[in-house]
Structure 1
Amino acid sequence: MSNLSTHDAIVIGAGPAGTSAALTLARHGWSVAIVEKSAFPRRKVCGEYISASNIALLDRLEIGDAWRADAGPEIRRVGFFSGETCVEAPMPDAKYGPAKDCFGRALGRDVLDALLLQAARSAGAEIFQPWRAVAIDRDGDTQRVRIQARGENSGDETRILRAPVIVAAHGSWEPGPLPSQLEKTNHPSDLLGFKAHFIGSTLAPDLMPLLALPGGYGGMVMADHGRLSISCCIRREMLARLRWKHGSGRDGVANPVSAADVVFSHLMASCRGVSDALDGACLDGRWLAAGPIRPGIRACCERDIFRVGNAAGESHPIIAEGISMALQSGWLLAGELAGAPSGRAGREAAGRRYQAAWRGLFSTRVHAAAAIARIALGPGGPALMAAAVRNFPQTLTLGAQMSGKTRPVPGLA
């Protein structure tokens, strides 16, 4: 096997954003390589809900039927749990497409990512997994990506991939050596993500509640195979206080307590709706942690490196639109690149159109999510939100609409 291979595009990361872009480009006749550092199936810190606006896109990506077969129940109600407050309201339905697809559903990332990657492989993409991209260097009109094998028996095996287009789909949480990755900085206000699955929950199967708690927020939803998916973000400073509180003994000396244990205790103590839903439920697998999250809008393209998913920008997960933005950003980019003239000038023009389309589709929900998160994380935020939704439950429906859950994906009419 040659140590050097050439492609039209190299996609770094095989989450929903990367595979959406890769398989769309492959179906347009592009030679595509996908580099993914993790072995599948793998669980991810993710809310796992996919709004109905994405179902037409899943059909175009040719995994719609498999998604329908595996995903959890339709989510017809949005809720709010905080303290003793438990409020619900109708989820806005999608006013387009088949009547059977008017509401979103949740599917575990261990299932969804494998479906998308297999579709990309079937479309002709070459998969390097588990391999990590460790360097990107300009080579005339193309770029070289050095990748390194991972795993117990991989040794120091490396390969070089060449392509004029690099798609950065590696997310934003993990720092690294690539020019598309963000620098790591730690602040007390950082939001750290946690996620777990439970079996045996009594949460109503059609309800997806927002969870508001001191120092953080979260959500829960019924996903595939009877699994309840619960995820949350907690401020770093709040997590430190909780760990000290739960880990200090009578003598005041701190004893080690896991972050997952204190986050779970905090959720159960802060939201009666959570404790009721998980009473008697069993943890399925283990708690996962990641972060800090990096909400905001970033440059979508620089020097033939095109960002998709969280690498391009992300909203606070308080609006549960992360997978939607990932899938749709990959689709938007692939459409612009596939229709662009060859050469750097064509790619640059495609990048400008992609960035304009990205901002037109996502900027409102990024700003709306930031505003909601600012209230939730502020002093007295959970109590303020609880009072508002108790008096005006329809604000939950309005919030779901503002987050883009009913907005159709461009180019699928």
Structure 2
Amino acid sequence: MMYDAIVIGAGPSGSSVALALSGQGRAVAIVERSEFPRRKVCGEFMSAVNLDLLDKLGGGAVVRAKAGPEVKRVALFASGPSTDAGMPRAAGDAFGRALGRDVLDGILLDAARDAGADVFQPWRAAEITTDGDNAMVRIESKHVQGVLVAPVVIAAHGSWEQGRLPTNLPKTNAPHDLFGFKAHFTGAELDRDLMPLLAFPGGYGGMVWADRNRMSLSCCIRRDVSIRLREKGNASSAAQAVHAHILASCPRVASMIVNATLHGEWLAAGPMRPGIRPRFADDIFRVGNLAGESHPIIAEGISMALQSGWLLANELARFDRWDRAARIAVGRRYSKAWNRQFATRIRVAALLARLASHPMSAAAVNTFVSGFPNSLTLGARLTGKTKLLPIACD
């Protein structure tokens, strides 16, 4: 089957680039190995500029109808007294909101399907080959196989997915590897307009109200710290050990969820791969956290996923034919646009992650923030909460 573009992965990055390309009149195929709805380890917050982007792509109205309340304040919860400050306002919608990935991913994929994209789900991309003009993607579903052909292949399957594609990242096994955990709670005491950063030894996290009165608590912790906590506390699972560690390290969190009910099970994933990677290599474009990944401490994962898909589609729109020369040119332009949009926030996030997770520096940060609460507002601005996207080319 022949297409203009094949997108591997139907998360926010894959669906956003498929929506944008379909809006340009391109024939798009999306290959997604998981059935929806699915739960994902994710902070679930979207800054306000992404709601404007979703309006352009066609999913904004549904997201607005289902998302949690506006997040108007940001806070720091650590070992000492908590501090909060105002979230910076953005153009359009003044404040960001959160929506569970089990809801958001389905909304975006339905919008892409309605826009004309062909969706292969649950199908797995097993192999990618190229003859210079077109790529052939072999896909599998149970005992059935097929081949999709297109000049453009876009990998949006995420940095955690394992496989034999040239875009799958190698496994790592180092003590400092970060693993992510996420759970939903109902009946929590968190203020509805507040999104606190949680700082604790060996990791960091955040809380925010999402859809259906669910409060999302997500966090990252080092592999060696997680192992040590589990052995010390004789916990039955890593998630149980991490949960107890957060409650012991952040008194405000303990007071807010002591009477709350866990909604579903804890999820775990990783290791995280913070850093900047090639956005175009092996004649394949990368979007989402395959292109580059920020430390989740700044809650910009969904933002970077949605926006990277938009940036790539914007550069592809400059060419009528996507031959090899055009793809190389797009790769250069997309990489530069991606750097302008995300490089600063990735570097700031790396610094904040080191400060928040180290016991000595975390205490100093807590003292500083207590004296200068507006540093939280400045930090939110520096990490991209109000940064606009470039205007689409004609």
8 Å Cα contact 1:341-1:347 kept in structure 2 = no
2:185 is the alignment partner of 1:198: yes
Q: What is the alpha-carbon distance in structure 2 between the residues aligned to residue 61 and residue 277 of structure 1? A: 37
2:310 is the alignment partner of 1:331: yes
Equivalent residue in structure 2 for 1:293, among 269, 272, 278:
272
**Structure 2 match to 1:253:** none
Instruction: Return 5+ residue gaps in structure 2 as ranges.
Output: none
TM-score (norm 2): 0.97
8 Å Cα contact 2:34-2:121 kept in structure 1 = yes
Map 1:154-173 → 2, pairs under 5 A: 154=142, 156-173=143-160
8 Å Cα contact 2:132-2:324 kept in structure 1 = no
Q: Which SS does the other structure have where 1:240 is aligned?
A: helix
Map 1:100-111 → 2, pairs under 5 A: 101-111=93-103
Amino acid at match of 2:181: F
Q: What is the alpha-carbon distance in structure 2 between the residues aligned to residue 171 and residue 401 of structure 1? A: 26
TM-superposed deviation, 1:267? 1.1
Equivalent residue in structure 2 for 1:394, among 374, 378, 385:
374
Q: Which SS does the other structure have where 1:57 is aligned?
A: helix
2:120 is the alignment partner of 1:128: yes
8 Å Cα contact 1:164-1:304 kept in structure 2 = no
**Structure 1 match to 2:40:** 44
Q: Which SS does the other structure have where 2:205 is aligned?
A: strand
Amino acid at match of 1:270: S
2:372 is the alignment partner of 1:385: no
Q: Which SS does the other structure have where 2:163 is aligned?
A: coil
Amino acid at match of 1:330: G
Q: Which SS does the other structure have where 2:18 is aligned?
A: helix
Q: Which SS does the other structure have where 1:404 is aligned?
A: coil
Q: Which SS does the other structure have where 1:6 is aligned?
A: coil
**Structure 2 match to 1:409:** 389
Q: What is the alpha-carbon distance in structure 2 between the residues aligned to residue 412 and residue 87 of structure 1? A: 39
Q: What is the alpha-carbon distance in structure 1 between the residues aligned to residue 68 and residue 320 of structure 2? A: 42
TM-score (norm 1): 0.93
Q: Paired residues, what number?
A: 392
Which deviates more, 137-146 or 184-193?
137-146
Instruction: Return 5+ residue gaps in structure 1 as ranges.
Output: 248-255
Amino acid at match of 1:110: D
Structure 1: 4+ residue segments shifted above 6 A: none
**Structure 1 match to 2:104:** 112
**Structure 2 match to 1:69:** 65
TM-superposed deviation, 1:387? 1.1
TM-superposed deviation, 1:140? 3.8
Q: What is the alpha-carbon distance in structure 2 between the residues aligned to residue 123 and residue 281 of structure 1? A: 40
TM-superposed deviation, 1:286? 0.7
How big is the alpha-carbon RMSD for the aligned residues of Structure 1 and Structure 2? Answer: 1.2
Equivalent residue in structure 2 for 1:217, among 185, 188, 204:
204
2:200 is the alignment partner of 1:189: no
Amino acid at match of 1:20: S
2:304 is the alignment partner of 1:312: no
Q: What is the alpha-carbon distance in structure 2 between the residues aligned to residue 341 and residue 26 of structure 1? A: 14
Q: Which SS does the other structure have where 1:226 is aligned?
A: coil
Amino acid at match of 2:200: L
8 Å Cα contact 2:3-2:150 kept in structure 1 = yes
Q: What is the alpha-carbon distance in structure 2 between the residues aligned to residue 209 and residue 325 of structure 1? A: 20
8 Å Cα contact 1:80-1:209 kept in structure 2 = yes
Amino acid at match of 1:260: A
